[in-house]
Structure formats: structure tokens, C-alpha cells
Amino acid sequence: MVGLEMNVGSAMLKVAAVQMSSNSNKENCLKKAEEFVFLATEGGAEVVALPEMFNFSGIIEKKKKNAESIPGPTINRLKELAKKFRIYLLCGSILEKHRGLFYNTSIFLNHQGEIIAKYRKMHLFDVTLPDGSSWRESELRTAGNEVVKVATSKAIFGFSICYDVRFPELYRKLAKGGTQIVFIPSAFTLETGKDHWETLVRARSIENQFYVIAPNQIGRDSQGRSYWGKSMIVDAWGTVLAKAPEKECVIFAEIDLSLQEKIRRNLPSLSHMRKDLFDFIK
């Protein structure tokens, strides 16, 4: 999916990632998200990203009751924010209900409050962790099947959600499509995050020579599950430009798209890929 705005503009771009702890009080989560978006705009951010499932966290039956169509109450509130502050806003992800199915869905809004991209999480988190905890995302959600990018007046953005980060094929496909900045809104667990989070996020950046904005959940949710935090913004060389402390907060970074062009020109690894051997990446 390539969206509405096709003129890629100036090289420098100030971005922000929100780190927050969601709970089963939806209104509380939404107010918190709105406050963090305001703080991000106060800091001069032109692009703001919220984490995965920022608007609600709870048991499966309550999740079903709080699922929304798109657009719906949550996205409509954020559309007004994006328009008011004239920012590009990555609406982390919410539980979308569509034709009787549920999806983990990310929405990207432009500075006029318009939906310009919609991504449904492809890879569902069905795992048993070393601490014995079990996660079965597919018990409720259906996997998406579309690689999504959008060209805007700021940059070409690509989309993914949390567990997707473990599947480099998605990111290579985004890179081959010209993506400059990739979002990875997440609710990365404490158990996996301590060993894998930074390594995976930086690896996707280094491999594909694009910027990564990775807002993460932190703290403990209403089910007692803990999240790693350490939200990050990483440049196209794999350097961590900003990393969140262990609290709810907003982090900022300046993205320099001319640096990315230089990196791709001087170390043209994407053009060196053996397409004759790896023809599954188009």
C-alpha cells in the first residue's frame, strides 16, 4: 500500500517515540496517550509514534469488548490531535474488529488528520517463554497479509509491529521498496526484551540502512505481565540516537535523511544482494 502523498521533502526531521504503560482503563490510556503526544509536540516533534496496544490492555473478553472498527473512537480522537498539532502520528496499534475478525492494527495519520496507511500485524506472538509464561496472540487475532509503506512529504515510511521484528524478510522487502523510516511499535516482554530487543531493532536498521522508530510498552499490565521498555530511535548506521529510561516518557531524535543516502551510497549492500539466489525478495 502506497498512500496519498508522494513528494519526499527536506532531509532533517525531528521525531518522537512514546513509552507508556497501558492498562484496562481505556479512557485513562487515551488521556495518557494524548498527554504524551502533546509533550512530543512541545518538544518540536513532526512525527510521533505510540506503542503497540496503547489504548487498552486486559483479559481476552475485555479486549473483545474494547475492540473498535477503523475509524472508530480511538482513531477519531487521534485524528483530531494530528490535525490540531499538524503532525504525522503513528497510532501504535489497537485491536481492530472487522467483519467478525480481530486484528492488531496500526494506523498512520498525516498532519491533516487523514488516515494514509493501515497495517495489520503479520506475525502473531504464539510462544512459551523461558519463565514459563505462555502467549497466544492467535487465540483472538487474525494475521495481516500486506506489506505496507507510504510516501509522504516528510519521508517514505514502512510499518511493522513488535514480533514482526524477528522476521527480517519483511524489512528487506520494505527496504527494497525505498523505505527510509520504519516503525516498530511494540509491547516487548521483559523476558525477551532483556536479551533480544536492542539487538533485533539495531539489526533491522543495519541490514536495511534505514531509520527505526521503536516505541515500547513498559511496566506491568493488568494481567501482571511485564514489559521491557527501552524504546529506541536508531539511525541508518545502527547507532542508537535515543533510548528511553525505565519510566513512561517521550524520547526525541533528529533524523537526517541525507546521512542515510550517504550510507547507502558508500556501503551499497542492498544493491549487492544476490537476487539470482534470493529471488523471493522482489
Residue 255: its H or E element: strand 249-256
pLDDT at position 32 is: 98
- The answer to whether position 103 is within a domain reads yes
Active site residue 139: no
Kindly report the average pLDDT of the chain as a whole number: 95
* Cell numbers that stand for 161 in this block: 509491529
User: Can you name the residues that pair with 141 across neighbouring β-strands?
Assistant: 102
- The answer to whether position 122 is within a domain reads yes
Q: List, for residues 137-166, the tens digit of each pLDDT value.
A: 999 999 999 999 999 999 999 999 999 999
User: Which residues, in sequence order, are CB contacts of 85 under 8 Å at separation 6+?
Assistant: 37, 38, 41
| Residue 224: domain span | 12-270
Q: Hey, CA dihedral for 136, 91, 39, 58, is it positive or negative? A: negative
Of residues 183 and 130, which shows the higher confidence score? 183
* Cell numbers that stand for 14 in this block: 525531528
Q: In this structure, what DSSP letter does residue 139 have?
A: G
- The answer to whether position 277 is within a domain reads no
Active site residue 91: no
Inter-residue contact 13 to 124 (CB < 8 Å): no
Mean pLDDT of 192-200: 98
User: Looking at the 3D structure of the chain, how many domains does it have?
Assistant: 1
Catalytic option among 121, 149, 154, 230 = 121
Catalytic option among 26, 32, 79, 162 = 162
Active site residue 121: yes
Mean pLDDT of 199-206: 99
- The answer to whether position 59 is within a domain reads yes
- The answer to whether position 279 is within a domain reads no
User: Is 80 exceeded by the pLDDT of residue 6?
Assistant: no
pLDDT at position 8 is: 46
pLDDT above 90: percentage of residues in the chain: 90
Q: Please identify which residue in the block is written with the cell numbers 514489559.
A: 227
pLDDT above 70: percentage of residues in the chain: 95
Residue 233: its H or E element: strand 232-234
- C-alpha torsion angle, residues 78, 81, 82, 88 (rounded to 10): -70
Q: List, for residues 73-119, the tens digit of each pLDDT value.
A: 999 999 999 999 999 999 999 999 999 999 999 999 999 999 999 99
* Strand pairing category for 47-49 and 12-19: parallel
* Cell numbers that stand for 133 in this block: 509464561
For the chain, first and last CA: distance in Å? Answer: 15
* Cell numbers that stand for 96 in this block: 481492530
Crossing angle of helices 26-42 and 73-85, rounded to 10°? 10
- The answer to whether position 4 is within a domain reads no
Residues in the chain: 282
- The answer to whether position 2 is within a domain reads no
Inter-residue contact 241 to 233 (CB < 8 Å): yes
Inter-residue contact 94 to 53 (CB < 8 Å): yes
From CA 183, how far away is CA 92, in angstroms rounded?
A: 9
- The answer to whether position 7 is within a domain reads no
Catalytic option among 5, 46, 52, 96 = 52
Inter-residue contact 43 to 250 (CB < 8 Å): yes
Inter-residue contact 146 to 140 (CB < 8 Å): no
- Distance of alpha carbon 87 from its chain centroid, rounded? 16
User: What's 64's domain CATH number?
Assistant: 3.60.110.10
